């Protein structure tokens, strides 16, 4: 995964640890719209599709959340779609209410920046998250990462949902004693 992204062509630095496919997904501490702390453990046993983005107040982020919400409507209960930004929980709740975002859990990284730092997607210069998506399987193995190079562009939705189908059809994971995992093919 790249250590930089661009905003209108200008490079921006990503900070934090680099998350890698095939490794155990790092934990995070996020804030829900009702101001409760939420971690990876709150989604144990489910496939997690995480949609991360800079701010709901931009057209591309608006589109991204709405598209993930729409595409997640037909998914089984074994899959949860999570949207993460550094927007305040109040703004996220208002956005979700105004746009009927009911299929996606939208959470904030504003307080701890733990998602951004633990996945290496925190933009140093802006203190915002980069744009992308990732998939974590039922055993908390990171199975897919898409980091968008130019943050003014949307993620490749087809690629994300094609990868999700592969994870659903091949859930096997072998745990390693040192905390890593080898994902099924």
Q: List Cα–Cα distances, 111 to 66, 99, 114, 115, 176, in angstroms.
A: 24, 24, 8, 10, 32
Beta bridge partners of 104: 81
Closest among 114, 19, 29, 99 to 64, alpha carbons compared: 99
Reduced to 3 states (helix: H, G, I; strand: E, B; else coil), residue 153 is coil
At CA 56, angle to CA 50 and CA 57, rounded to 5? 160
Reduced to 3 states (helix: H, G, I; strand: E, B; else coil), residue 86 is coil
Reduced to 3 states (helix: H, G, I; strand: E, B; else coil), residue 33 is coil
Alpha-carbon gap, residue 63 to 58, rounded angstroms = 9
Catalytic residue numbers read 61
């Amino acid at each position: 995964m790249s250590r930089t992204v661009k905003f209108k062509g200008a490079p921006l630095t990503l900070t934090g640890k680099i998350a890698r496919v095939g490794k155990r997904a790092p934990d995070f501490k996020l804030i829900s719209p009702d101001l409760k702390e939420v971690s990876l453990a709150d989604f144990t046993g489910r496939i997690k599709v995480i949609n991360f983005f800079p701010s709901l107040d931009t057209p591309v982020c608006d589109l991204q959340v709405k598209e993930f919400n729409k595409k997640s409507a037909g998914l089984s209960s074994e899959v949860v779609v999570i949207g993460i930004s550094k927007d305040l929980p109040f703004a996220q709740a208002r956005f979700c209410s105004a746009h009927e975002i009911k299929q996606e859990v939208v959470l904030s990284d504003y307080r701890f920046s733990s998602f951004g730092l633990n996945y290496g997607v925190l933009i140093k210069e802006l203190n915002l998250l980069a744009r992308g998506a990732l998939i974590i399987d039922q055993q908390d193995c990171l199975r897919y990462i898409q980091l968008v190079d130019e943050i003014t562009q949307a993620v490749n939705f087809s690629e994300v949902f094609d990868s999700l189908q592969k994870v659903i059809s091949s859930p096997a994971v072998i745990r390693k004693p040192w905390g890593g995992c080898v994902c099924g093919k």
